């Protein structure tokens, strides 16, 4: 074999061996790399499973809320959630409505088995107290939480303000009509009903409410800060504020100063208070049960009034089992506020009386509501009318009437007035619904109020001006009503026929700065169509008269023969050349 041929053969063999070695090494490197990833290269299923595990780990790391939980953990979470919700309802019961929820409501709430029932109960709780249940807003609820916030801000004393006695009274009854405050205590001149004399006191406050439903009239609540730390507590004992009560021969009463009593007598006489003997000691001792009763009533939640009657109005249930008469009148207060007196008249014969110890008593509940055309409640009122008559006289008084009066301030416009009257002893109801148009008194138009016939009319003391039943301005005017069957107001011959009216927008003469108007009264007997009374007055004769005039007149029914009469009052404004002529009809028996 030639040398060149031999060399080529050896070179080819070496190259082939090198390629084989390179292939084996490459195969080993490939196997090693596959082993380092996830197993053999040819195990496709295993590789897919491991890829899914990697994906799941990544997802769990990105959204922990989506991680699967065990059944044990699920039950634990539900229990924690239920406990948290229970705290919410417990707070509502023990804090939010603690002072206004009744014992019956609390007992019913505690018997509820699930949160859905509790939510419904809470909704109904506020609805029962809502003066405007047809609207979205609940003024009672809003005012309640406002009072809690105010109490926490003003009455806190180491504890939240709503827990203090002052906070409790404020939440239950609102701001007092009058507060006498002695924030620093000090020298105090006792009133005579506390024994008189001078002493020194702890800080104290007296809250006076003119009227509290279910408690009474002229309610005075005393709070004393005996620790001088701002924690005023309610007390029945007016001597508790006396800082010298336990100091011998100090802070003596009048009788003690004069030697007519000893200070030790205060601690040996018993009773609620340690005021000592004095000029009014006997009468004060007699009132101790009244003070106990008042204190007990103040602990009870405010009453929820007449919800059975409100249900009748809300659901428009019509009843006519109990007859009664209604009259609405209109009196201008301001340009955009009109006083609308609503008068309800109920005859004794339609009221069920109960007799006890020679006295016959009848009780009537009245609920009323005025709503706009859109259904918005403008005014709501409710009250009790009680009549007491000697039992032996009651059979003779069946034609007498009980009269209820409520003045509603309304804006001009059209309203619907709904009334429900309930005879409590007889368990009967009657309803009345009417649309009324509250007039708008334009400044440039001569106008009058309602012409009101009255069986009682008298001036009231200055302190009662504008307040109280049947009081319009300075005069008490009790209306005499027509009957439901159309019979006009009737007067007996031994009564007076009174009438009241106001005139508005008289034009003032620019030279005299007074109005110039005449008022003409005409009383016509409708049977004969003849005038039995004719009288003319002028504003010139009435002294200091402005653009508004009040007419108050009386005449004796004894001067009139039985029959039907028509009264007209013609007002002529001689400056603006305007005239109004309201009329009213009445009967004399």
Q: 448 and 436 in one domain?
A: no
Residue 437 bridge partners (DSSP): 414
DSSP H helix total and E strand total for the chain: 11, 27
**Cα–Cα distance for residue pair 368/381, rounded to 1 Å:** 5
- Residue from 435, 456, 438, 436 nearest 447 by CA: 438
Parent domain of 402: 307-440
482 and 567 share a domain?
yes
User: What are the structure tokens assigned to 3, written together?
Assistant: 């040398």
The total of structural domains in the chain comes to 4
Are 430 and 487 members of one domain? Answer: no
- The pLDDT score that the predictor gives to residue 575 is 92
Measured distance CA(334)–CA(410) in Å, rounded:
11
Give the Cβ contact number of residue 224 at 10 Å: 24
**How far apart, in Å, are the Cα atoms of 327 and each of 289, 324, 373, 417, 466?**
42, 10, 20, 11, 20
Same domain, 447 and 587: yes
Residues 404 and 352 in one domain: yes
User: What global pTM score does this model have?
Assistant: 0.51
The answer to the question of residue 143 being in a domain is no
Cβ count within 10 A of residue 586:
20
CA 497, CA 558: separation in Å to the nearest integer?
10
Question: What is the CATH number for 545?
Answer: 2.60.40.3880
Residue at 509 is within a domain: yes
State the DSSP string of 510-576: TTTSSB-EEEEEEEEETTTTEEEEEEEEEGGGSSS--S-EEEEEEEEGGGS-SEEEEEEEEEEETTT
Q: pLDDT tens, position by position, for the chain (589 residues)?
A: 444 443 444 334 434 444 333 444 444 444 443 344 334 334 344 444 555 554 454 444 444 445 566 777 766 665 664 555 578 888 999 999 999 998 888 888 888 878 888 888 888 888 888 877 666 678 889 899 999 999 999 999 989 999 999 999 999 999 999 999 999 999 999 888 888 899 999 999 999 998 888 888 889 999 999 999 999 999 988 999 999 998 998 989 888 888 888 888 888 877 778 887 777 766 666 577 788 888 889 988 887 766 666 666 665 555 557 889 999 999 998 888 999 999 999 999 899 999 998 899 999 999 999 988 767 788 888 999 999 999 888 888 888 889 999 999 999 998 989 999 999 988 788 888 888 999 999 888 999 999 999 999 999 887 777 677 899 988 999 999 988 777 899 999 999 999 999 999 999 888 888 899 999 999 999 999 999 999 999 988 887 788 899 999 999 999 999 999 999 999 999 999 999 999 999 999 9
Measured distance CA(371)–CA(418) in Å, rounded? 8
Of 299, 324, 340, which residue sits at a domain end? 299
Instruction: Measure the CA–CA gap between 149 and 141, rounded to whole angstroms.
Output: 13
Helix (H, G, I), strand (E, B) or coil at 388: strand
pLDDT of residue 312: 64
Within a domain: 449: yes
- Verify that 282 and 318 share a domain, yes or no: no
- Whether residues 268 and 188 fall in one domain: yes
433 lies in some domain = yes
Strand order in the sheet with 204-212: 178-182, 204-212, 216-224, 233-235
Let me know if residue 25 belongs to a domain. Answer: no
Cβ(411)–Cβ(336) below 8 Å? yes
Residues 271 and 234 reside in one and the same domain: yes
Angle between helices 115-128 and 103-110 (to 10 degrees): 160
Domain boundary among 397, 416, 440: 440
- In a domain, residue 6? The reply is no
Tokens of 214: 């279910």
Cβ 109 vs Cβ 118: under 8 Å: yes
**Residue 289 and residue 335 share a domain:** no
Alpha carbons within 13 A on the beta-carbon side of 425: 14
- Domain containing residue 316: CATH number: 2.60.40.10
Helix (H, G, I), strand (E, B) or coil at 186: strand
The CA-to-CA distance between both ends of the chain, in Å, stands at 169
483 within 8 A of 434, measured Cβ to Cβ: no
Residues 333 and 216 in one domain: no
Do 478 and 383 share a domain, yes or no? no
Record the tokens describing residue 343, joined without a space. Answer: 């008068």
- Secondary structure (DSSP) of 392-407: TTGGGGTT-EEEEEEE
Residues 322, 172: Cα–Cα separation, whole Å: 35
In a shared domain, residues 457 and 584: yes
What does DSSP say about strands 496-504 and 549-556: parallel, antiparallel, or unpaired?
A: antiparallel
Classified as helix, coil or strand, 36 is helix
Domain annotation covers residue 426: yes
Residue 241 near residue 181, CB atoms below 8 Å? no
352 falls within a domain: yes
């Amino acid at each position: 074999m030639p040398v060149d041929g031999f060399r080529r053969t050896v070179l080819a063999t070496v190259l082939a061996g090198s390629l084989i070695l390179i292939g084996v090494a490459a195969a080993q490197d490939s196997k090693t790399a596959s082993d380092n990833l996830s197993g053999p290269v040819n195990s496709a299923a295993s590789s897919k499973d491991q890829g899914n595990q990697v994906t799941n780990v990544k997802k769990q790391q990105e959204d922990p809320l989506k991680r699967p939980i065990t059944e044990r953990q699920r039950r634990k979470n539900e229990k924690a959630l239920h406990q948290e919700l229970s705290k919410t309802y417990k707070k509502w019961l023990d804090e939010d409505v603690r002072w206004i929820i009744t014992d019956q409501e609390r007992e019913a709430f505690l018997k509820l088995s699930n949160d859905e029932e509790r939510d419904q109960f809470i909704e109904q709780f506020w609805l029962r107290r809502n003066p405007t249940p047809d609207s979205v807003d609940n003024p009672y609820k809003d005012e309640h939480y406002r009072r809690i916030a105010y109490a926490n801000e003003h009455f806190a004393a180491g504890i939240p303000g709503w827990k203090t006695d002052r906070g409790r009274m404020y939440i239950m009854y609102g701001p007092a009509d009058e507060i006498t405050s002695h924030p620093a205590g000090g020298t105090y001149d006792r009133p005579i009903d506390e024994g008189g004399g001078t002493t020194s006191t702890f800080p104290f406050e007296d809250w006076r409410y003119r009227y509290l439903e279910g408690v009474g009239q002229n309610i005075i609540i005393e709070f004393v800060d005996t620790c001088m730390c701002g924690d005023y507590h309610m007390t029945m004992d007016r001597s508790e504020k006396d800082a010298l009560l336990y100091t011998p021969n100090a802070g003596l009463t009048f009788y003690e100063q004069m030697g007519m009593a000893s200070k030790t007598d205060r601690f040996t006489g018993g009773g609620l208070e340690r005021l000592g003997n004095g000029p009014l000691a006997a009468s004060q001792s007699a009132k101790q049960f009244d003070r106990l009763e008042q204190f007990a009533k103040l602990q009870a939640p405010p009453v929820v009034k007449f919800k059975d009657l409100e249900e009748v109005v809300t659901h428009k249930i019509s009843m006519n089992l109990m007859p009664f008469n209604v009259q609405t009148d209109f009196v201008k207060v301001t340009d955009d506020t009109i006083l609308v007196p609503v008068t309800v008249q109920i005859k004794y014969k339609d009221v069920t009386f109960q007799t006890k110890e020679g006295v016959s008593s009848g009780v009537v509940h009245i609920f009323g509501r005025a709503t706009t055309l859109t259904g918005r409640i403008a005014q709501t009122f409710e009250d009790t009318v009680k009549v007491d008559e000697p039992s032996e006289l009651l059979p003779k008084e069946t034609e007498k009437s009980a009269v209820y009066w409520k003045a509603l301030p309304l804006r001009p416009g059209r309203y619907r007035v709904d009334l429900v009257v309930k005879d409590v002893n007889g368990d009967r109801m009657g309803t009345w619904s009417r649309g009324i148009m509250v007039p708008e008194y334009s400044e440039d138009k001569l106008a009058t109020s309602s012409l009101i016939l009255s069986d009682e009319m008298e001036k009231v003391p200055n302190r009662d001006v504008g307040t109280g039943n049947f009081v319009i301005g300075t005069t008490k005017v009790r209306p005499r009503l027509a009957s439901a069957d159309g019979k006009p107001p009737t007067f007996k011959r031994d009564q007076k026929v009174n009438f009241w009216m106001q005139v508005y927008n008289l034009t003032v003469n620019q030279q005299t700065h007074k109005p110039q108007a005449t008022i003409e009264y005409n009383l016509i007997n409708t049977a004969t169509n003849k005038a039995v009374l004719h009288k003319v007055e002028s504003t010139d004769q009435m002294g200091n008269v402005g653009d508004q005039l009040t007419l108050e007149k009386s005449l004796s029914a004894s001067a009139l023969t039985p029959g039907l009469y028509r009264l007209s009052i013609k007002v002529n404004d001689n400056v603006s050349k305007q005239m109004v002529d309201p009329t009213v009809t009445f009967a004399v028996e």
